[in-house]
């Protein structure tokens, strides 16, 4: 190696090492997001936090279901009514039942009256929907969640043959029976004999206001009801306004 004056000078005066650049301080997640465009922010959040977001959504839904269930448990159903095969051209109006009768009984906001309207065909003309509806009605009766049925003659006869209604001549008081005697509807029971299984409420203000149609509207009390206080009160409300 050739020694020169320049090499000797460099050896005697070595160059100081070049300092390494200081590492940039680590930025927080908030600082990273602030430095991004809105589009990049959305992509970044979705890419890195979608699992956390999904867990939060699931937790909120579970809390909502639990809270709703707890809240609903504070309500009490005091009467359940089903209208079957209503022949009116007008949409059925349940306000006379759910508002008028509720006021008549001085019910609180947490004492509920359930009501719905269904259509059923019987015998050979019964459709799959009719079978499903009859199964639903049977389930409601079995679980004691149905108290009143209002229907046409075919409906009353069908369920009367299954002992679905109270015999009103036996189960109403003598005083009340005298009030409804001329409105009783007789149908064959499970034993084949005639019983007073329904009351004809057609022509009443209640039937007109509820839009029950021009034909006969027959009201039967389900045989295993546990809410006789309210079923009998409904008859009084309809027939003695």
pLDDT confidence tier of residue 176, bands split at 50, 70 and 90: confident
Asked, for residue 20, whether it belongs to a domain, the answer is no
For residues 148 and 124, state if they share a domain.
yes
pLDDT confidence tier of residue 86, bands split at 50, 70 and 90: confident
What stretch of H or E contains 233?
A: helix 228-239
For residues 49 and 136, state if they share a domain.
no
For residues 47 and 88, state if they share a domain.
no
For residues 36 and 104, state if they share a domain.
no
pLDDT digits (tens, 9 = 90+) for 190-229: 888 999 999 999 999 999 999 997 677 999 999 999 999 9
For residues 118 and 192, state if they share a domain.
yes
pTM: predicted TM-score of the whole model, two decimal places: 0.69
For residues 64 and 80, state if they share a domain.
no
Asked, for residue 144, whether it belongs to a domain, the answer is yes
Among the residues of 109-227, which ranges form H helices?
A: 128-142, 153-160, 168-171, 174-180, 205-210
Output the CA–CA distances (angstroms, integers) from residue 15 to 3, 5, 109, 179, in the order listed.
18, 16, 91, 120
**DSSP-assigned beta bridge partners for residue 194:** 188
For residues 105 and 188, state if they share a domain.
yes
For residues 136 and 47, state if they share a domain.
no
- Report pLDDT for 27: 60
Least confident range of 67-71, 77-81, 151-155 = 67-71
Q: Which residue has the higher pLDDT, 55 or 113?
A: 113
For residues 128 and 173, state if they share a domain.
yes
What is the extent of the structural domain holding 199?
76-239
Asked, for residue 17, whether it belongs to a domain, the answer is no
CATH number for the domain spanning 190: value is 3.40.190.10
For residues 81 and 188, state if they share a domain.
yes
For residues 123 and 172, state if they share a domain.
yes
pLDDT digits (tens, 9 = 90+) for 14-51: 556 655 555 555 666 566 656 666 666 666 666 666 66
The number of folded domains in the chain is 2
For residues 137 and 225, state if they share a domain.
yes
Instruction: State the Cα–Cα distance between residues 58 and 52, nearest whole angstrom.
Output: 10
Asked, for residue 24, whether it belongs to a domain, the answer is no
Asked, for residue 3, whether it belongs to a domain, the answer is no
- Report pLDDT for 76: 87
Asked, for residue 98, whether it belongs to a domain, the answer is yes
The mean pLDDT of the chain is: 82
pLDDT confidence tier of residue 69, bands split at 50, 70 and 90: low
């Amino acid at each position: 190696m050739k020694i020169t004056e320049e090499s000797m000078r460099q050896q005697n005066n070595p160059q100081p090492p070049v300092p390494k650049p200081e590492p940039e301080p680590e930025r927080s997640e908030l600082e990273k997001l602030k430095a991004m465009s809105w589009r990049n922010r959305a992509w970044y959040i979705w890419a890195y936090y979608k699992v956390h977001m999904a867990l939060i959504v699931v937790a909120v839904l579970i809390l909502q279901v639990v809270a709703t269930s707890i809240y609903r448990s504070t309500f009490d159903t005091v009467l359940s009514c089903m209208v079957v095969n209503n022949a009116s051209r007008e949409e059925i109006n349940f306000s006379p039942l759910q508002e008028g009768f509720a006021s008549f009984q001085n019910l609180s906001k947490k004492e509920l009256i359930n009501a719905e309207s269904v259509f059923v065909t019987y015998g050979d003309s019964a459709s799959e929907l009719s079978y499903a509806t009859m199964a639903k009605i049977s389930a409601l009766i079995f679980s004691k969640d149905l108290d009143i049925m209002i229907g046409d003659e075919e409906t009353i006869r069908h369920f009367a043959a299954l002992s679905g209604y109270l015999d009103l001549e036996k189960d109403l008081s003598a005083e009340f029976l005298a009030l409804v005697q001329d409105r009783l509807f007789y149908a064959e029971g499970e034993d084949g004999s005639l019983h007073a299984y329904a009351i004809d409420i057609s022509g009443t203000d209640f039937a007109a206001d509820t839009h029950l149609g021009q034909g006969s509207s027959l009201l039967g009390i389900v045989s295993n009801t546990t809410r006789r206080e309210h079923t009998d009160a409904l008859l009084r409300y309809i027939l003695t306004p």
